[in-house]
Amino acid sequence: MSNPMLRPRIEKVTVHIGVGESGERLASAEKIMKTITGRTPVRTKAKKTLPGFGIKKREPIGCKTTLRGKTAEEFLKTCLKINEDRLAVSQFDDNGNFAFGIEEHTDFPGMKYDPEIGIFGMDVIVSVKKPGYRVRRRRVQRSKVPTRHKLTPEDSIAYMKEEFNIEVIQDSQ
């Protein structure tokens, strides 16, 4: 593309581990996330009470961290390699963002299984944007993003194929 404002880029990568309970398991999940991402995670809290699962409203039940810039791209390359460089079309939303899961934290290089900690899976959520989306959120002279500038799933898929050499597979339904 000749216009740099139309070229998509990775805005952020959010990594989330949902434990479902607070206590020692949540502390272990935070330790694993800090080891994998190199960032200190923040706790996520339950939005409502679910007595069947023993979850109370505002109780910490998971942790997440957000990566940006080069760190986000390097982490995403590692995660995609674990996922065998494949994404399904259904993993992309209407705005070009996508998400996928990693079943075991032991798939990351250098991570070993510890019976005291157990195995944790995680969600990787990737936000893809074009430069110029800031006009929607800024304080002064806020305006709408034109339709021709909005990112579509097709744009995002093409960007991921070109930049990260991934294979996008059709869902079998």
Task: Answer yes or no: is pLDDT of 23 > 70.
Answer: yes
Backbone dihedral angles phi then psi of residue 149, each to the nearest 5 degrees: -95, -10
Measured between alpha carbons, how far is 32 from 111 in angstroms, rounded to an integer? 9
Confidence label for 26 from pLDDT (cuts 50, 70 and 90): very high
Q: What is the pLDDT of residues 160-170, one digit of tens each?
A: 999 999 999 98
State the pLDDT at residue 96. 92
Measured between alpha carbons, how far is 110 from 82 in angstroms, rounded to an integer? 13
Three-point CA angle 88, 81, 36, nearest 5°: 115
Strand ranges of the sheet holding 122-129, from the earlier edge strand across to the other edge: 42-45, 60-67, 9-18, 122-129, 98-102
Domain range list for the chain: 4-169
State the pLDDT at residue 43. 94
Which sign, positive or negative, has the C-alpha torsion 24, 109, 13, 101?
Answer: negative
Lowest mean per-residue pLDDT among 75-79, 109-113, 149-153: 109-113
Task: Answer yes or no: is pLDDT of 151 > 70.
Answer: yes
Backbone dihedral angles phi then psi of residue 33, each to the nearest 5 degrees: -65, -40
Task: Answer yes or no: is pLDDT of 1 > 80.
Answer: no
User: Over the Cα atoms of the chain, what is R_g?
Assistant: 18
Q: What is the pLDDT of residues 37-87, one digit of tens each?
A: 999 999 999 999 888 888 889 899 999 999 999 999 999 999 999 999 999
State the pLDDT at residue 2. 80
Task: Answer yes or no: is pLDDT of 173 > 60.
Answer: no
Q: pTM of whole model > 0.75?
A: yes
Confidence label for 100 from pLDDT (cuts 50, 70 and 90): very high
Task: Answer yes or no: is pLDDT of 111 > 90.
Answer: no
Measured between alpha carbons, how far is 54 from 152 in angstroms, rounded to an integer? 40
Measured between alpha carbons, how far is 150 from 56 in angstroms, rounded to an integer? 39
**The domain made up of 4-169 is a member of CATH 3.30.1440.10:** yes
